[in-house]
Amino acid sequence: MQFKEADIAHMADLARLELSAAELASYGAQLSAITAYIEQLQKVKTSSVALAPILYNIWREDVVEDWEVEENGQALSQGKLEQGLLKVKRVL
Amino acid sequence: MDGQMFSVASARQELDKGNVSSLELTRACLARLQAIDSELHSCLLVDEKGALAAAAEADERLRKGERGSLLGIPYLVKDILMTKGLRTTAASKILENYIAPYDATVIRKLKKAGAVMLGKTNLDEFAHGSSTENSAFGPTKNPWDLSRVPGGSSGGSAAAMAAGLCLFALGTDTGGSIRQPASFCNLVGLKPSYGRVSRFGLLSMTSSTDTIGPLTRTVEDAAMVLELIAGRDTKDATTLSVPVGDYHLPLSQGFKGLKIGVIPSYFKDGLDEGLRTEAIRALEIFKKEGAEIINLDLPYNQYSVPVYYVITPSEVSSNLARFDGIGWGRAEEGADNLLSFYKATRGHGFGPEAKRRIMLGTFALSAGYAEAYYKKAQAVRELIKLDFAQAFQKVEVIFTPTSPHAAFKLGEQVNNPLAMYLEDIYLAGASLAGLPAISVPGGFTEIDGQELPFGWQFIGPMAQEASVLRAAAAWEKINNYQERRPNL
């Protein structure tokens, strides 16, 4: 898979990453090389295998466990707070 | 006195007899850290105050007659595990000033046991890498040769251990990140089975392969640490319900009657000549000691690196999405709307390898490509797991080199991410299949007039840490490579 700068820019946009001009240029070549290496997986016959790993649900009782007030405070203290709410940037 | 003088087991004896105190051990480690870590750069944070307080408390507990395997033992932690009240960065600028609000389960267990945490060690940013050169805060040097890497991503823990700055260290292994640095630094590095140790409080990288494990001087020490950190945890639903094994019995079982699997193709192309010679010698020794060597093939294992490099970035792209500048971590100033705020925070906060992996993962999971990339990789992964399952019907452990070569020079592979990925060639398979694997000091090889260590890997069946501990201990007993020290 050969990535053009426009492809890299699109992926960066989806991933919410701002890239410099130099990064846009170098990532294209690097990611193309990596995906070329990964292409070999296409040759592997996987039709006889279930296409996903077998997963099990692990259950617990639906009971609320409160955080310790101090830990909760510590966790929230590192964002921008206003009246007990987290502030975010203008969305629209 | 310094950390190099003791193993965990011997320190345990001296502490219990009252010949040395935890404060003495801790002070010796801190002093050595202060003396030489500016050269190595293995630690990102040293918590002198906390360590001395913990040591004093441990000494009090010992005085009262309490006994415990890790009571009073100083250790270091890879900076990707939450340590309450202390900065936890994952070696990333995006968490440069982040204070962990809680302890990871392994940390909580070690605190309860009275182990003494000295600080946090350097790593490749978010565990992305095999050399610790991807750290946003500068690389760590290999104590055996300061111009070389200690390996990665747990390079800080490995370098600190090898230099005697602590008695054991915690690392994480997602695709080889405990085993390979152990190999580069003449240490024992144990990757437990997936789910054997709780991941609660571990900053997630690849959720389906992440494990936490010890880096130690001896196999016995690794067993002692594993015994304490292993176990079911209600806070991590992926932890195994299989009870924690007996990790002491295997240490004395030796090679006699042990069925060791060998994949002949692993010892051909790509493996350093010197290491190949040593491997042949090692196999002769196993046989002489009574092991049975059985040739195997793992036909799909040749795909383990490409599978790993689809699955890993995909899961990484999901796990790193939480770093959005809101609530924790770096928050960009000056952005005037949410989208540009996200992009600037993440674009400036993450390093190049983290960004590469996020983008690769975003691509592999995106509409139109998820089927061909991610789902295909998961299917091939099932075939790799089957290979191992079939192999373990014939053998008890599989023997491979840990790395195709000894430690490479700083800067040698930095501009070629693909070359860096091929470091994982012997390592990725066990990670994808969730199997336990250990690297044990295999000897020394000479490169450019320098003697550099290398390790041997033993892989075992699911939840059979005892098997790999047995093989590693048997080898260690014959060789004593752990007695050697770097010149620092």
> Using CA atoms, how far apart are residues B27 and B36, in angstroms rounded to an integer?
14
User: pLDDT of B465-485, one tens digit each?
Assistant: 999 999 999 999 999 899 999
User: pLDDT of B225-261, one tens digit each?
Assistant: 999 999 999 999 999 999 999 999 999 999 999 999 9
* Dihedral, CA of residue B477, residue B482, residue B483 and residue B486, to nearest 10: 160
* pLDDT for residue A70: 84
* pLDDT for residue B422: 67
User: pLDDT of A16-44, one tens digit each?
Assistant: 999 999 888 888 888 888 888 889 999 99
Are the beta carbons of A31 and B358 separated by less than 8 Å? no
Q: Which two tokens stand for residue B323?
A: 């770093």
Are the beta carbons of A44 and B383 separated by less than 8 Å? yes
Q: Which of residues 85-114 of B touch A (CB under 8 A)?
A: 85, 98-99, 101-102
User: pLDDT of B107-128, one tens digit each?
Assistant: 999 999 999 999 999 999 999 9
Parse chain A into domains and list their residue ranges.
Answer: 5-42
Q: Does B372 touch chain A (CB under 8 A)?
A: yes
Are the beta carbons of B347 and A58 separated by less than 8 Å? no
* Dihedral, CA of residue B119, residue B120, residue B122 and residue B127, to nearest 10: 160
User: pLDDT of B314-337, one tens digit each?
Assistant: 999 999 999 999 888 899 888 888
ipTM of the complex: 0.91
Are the beta carbons of B337 and A90 separated by less than 8 Å? yes
More confident residue, B269 or B483: B483
Long-range Cβ contact pairs of A36-42 (< 8 A, separation 24 or more)? A36/A1, A37/B306, A37/B309, A37/B418, A37/B421, A38/B306, A38/B309, A38/B310, A38/B373, A38/B377, A39/A1, A40/B303, A40/B306, A41/B303, A41/B306, A41/B307, A41/B310, A41/B373, A41/B376, A41/B377, A41/B380, A42/B372, A42/B376
Q: Does B478 touch chain A (CB under 8 A)?
A: no
* pLDDT for residue A54: 76
> Using CA atoms, how far apart are residues B190 and B464, in angstroms rounded to an integer?
12
**Opening angle at CA B311, ends B226 and B267, nearest 5:** 70
> Using CA atoms, how far apart are residues B419 and B133, in angstroms rounded to an integer?
14
Strand order in the sheet with B43-46: B43-46, B116-121, B74-78, B168-172, B212-216, B188-191, B437-447, B450-459, B397-401, B259-262, B292-295
Does residue B3 register a pLDDT over 60? no
User: pLDDT of B188-238, one tens digit each?
Assistant: 999 999 999 999 999 999 999 999 999 999 999 999 999 999 999 999 999
Cβ contacts below 8 Å, chain A against chain B, sum to: 147
Nearest CA in chain B to A78: B328
Are the beta carbons of A89 and B338 separated by less than 8 Å? yes
Portion of chain A with pLDDT greater than 90, in percent: 22
Does residue B32 register a pLDDT over 90? yes
User: pLDDT of B162-176, one tens digit each?
Assistant: 999 999 999 999 999
* pLDDT for residue A88: 82
Q: Does B417 touch chain A (CB under 8 A)?
A: yes
Q: Does B342 touch chain A (CB under 8 A)?
A: yes
Residues of B tagged active-site: 78, 153, 177
> Using CA atoms, how far apart are residues B373 and B147, in angstroms rounded to an integer?
38
A10 Cα to chain B: minimum distance (Å): 10
> Using CA atoms, how far apart are residues B68 and B228, in angstroms rounded to an integer?
10
The residue with tokens 């510590």 is A74
Residue B216 backbone phi and psi in degrees, to 5: -140, 175
Chain B residues with beta carbon closer than 8 angstroms to that of A58: 237-238
Are the beta carbons of A38 and B372 separated by less than 8 Å? no
pLDDT band for position A52 (cuts 50, 70, 90):
low
For chain A, the average pLDDT equals 85
User: pLDDT of B41-57, one tens digit each?
Assistant: 999 999 999 999 999 99
The pLDDT of B289-301, averaged and rounded, is 96
Chain B residues with beta carbon closer than 8 angstroms to that of A53: 378, 381-382
